Amino acid sequence: AFEQRIALEGKGEKERMEAVTEEVKRVFQDAVVSDVAIENAEDPEQEFTLRYRVSIPGYAVKTGKRLLLEPMYFQRGETPLFPAASRQHPVSFQFGWMDSDSVSIEWPKGYTAEAAAAPESMNFGQTGYYRSGIAADGASRVLQCNRELVFGRGGRLLFSPEIYKTVKAAFDEVHRRDGVSLVLTQSGGGQ
């Protein structure tokens, strides 16, 4: 929220909508963004909320009669947070945070979703947690994905080099779980 508020500071509604569209297009060049709604951009005491609709041709990968879909939209294409195997200096985060994502994906007619298994939750002890949920509604062809990552609770923001491997392993596992794929199978007449 902090970074989003700074990026949108001093911009009018039209400029904010353009900024959101540009941000999405940096990741998904062919994306069509509409219905942008931003809540509490200027009030740091309130929860910052950003909503929009996006259509992305080719978001799912077609393999024969199947589509492979990565439902964790905001994490798609992200690289691991800690690429180095070891560290000489402490890891220090500026502030604790909570990412709370809710994504609804409408899949094409003529496909059915195979069992939608969400990645298991993870607990980081007093520092935070990771939770996700995936539910597929075949009647409406909508996949609902929720993800929550909380880190830095209680001001736990500094980690010594001796426990770096533990911190790295936790974030590597979050990255792996965020990369889960869902299979949509063509049931006839798929487009």
pLDDT at 4: 87
Mean pLDDT of 12-29: 92
* Averaged pLDDT score across all residues of the chain: 92
Mean pLDDT of 7-31: 91
The percent of residues above 70 in pLDDT, for the chain, comes to 98
Residue 128 phi, psi dihedral angles, 5° rounding? 165, -160
Helical segments of the chain, H only? 2-8, 13-27, 164-178
Quickly tell me which residue has 């690429």 as its tokens. 83
Mean pLDDT of 170-188: 92
Q: What is the pLDDT of residues 157-171, one digit of tens each?
A: 999 999 999 999 999
Whole-angstrom distance, CA of residue 136 vs CA of residue 16: 32
Q: Look up residue 85 and give its DSSP letter.
A: S
CB atoms within 10 A of CB 10: 7
* Range with lowest mean pLDDT among 49-53, 58-62, 109-113, 114-118: 114-118
User: Is a pLDDT exceeding 50 seen at residue 190?
Assistant: no
Residue 43 — pLDDT band, cuts 50, 70, 90? confident
User: Is a pLDDT exceeding 60 seen at residue 191?
Assistant: no
pLDDT at 92: 96
Whole-angstrom distance, CA of residue 188 vs CA of residue 190: 6
Q: Look up residue 120 and give its DSSP letter.
A: P
Nearest to 127 by CA among 100, 148, 155: 155
User: Is a pLDDT exceeding 70 seen at residue 188?
Assistant: no
**Amino acid of residue 140:** S
User: Is a pLDDT exceeding 70 seen at residue 14?
Assistant: yes
Residue 130's Cβ-count burial label (10 Å; 0-12, 13-18, 19+) is buried
| Residues forming a β-bridge with 32 | 55
Q: What is the pLDDT of residues 87-141, one digit of tens each?
A: 999 999 999 999 999 999 999 999 999 877 788 999 999 999 999 999 999 899 9
User: Is a pLDDT exceeding 90 seen at residue 9?
Assistant: no
CB atoms within 10 A of CB 154: 9
Ramachandran class of 125: left when φ > 0, alpha when ψ lies in -120 to 50, beta otherwise: left
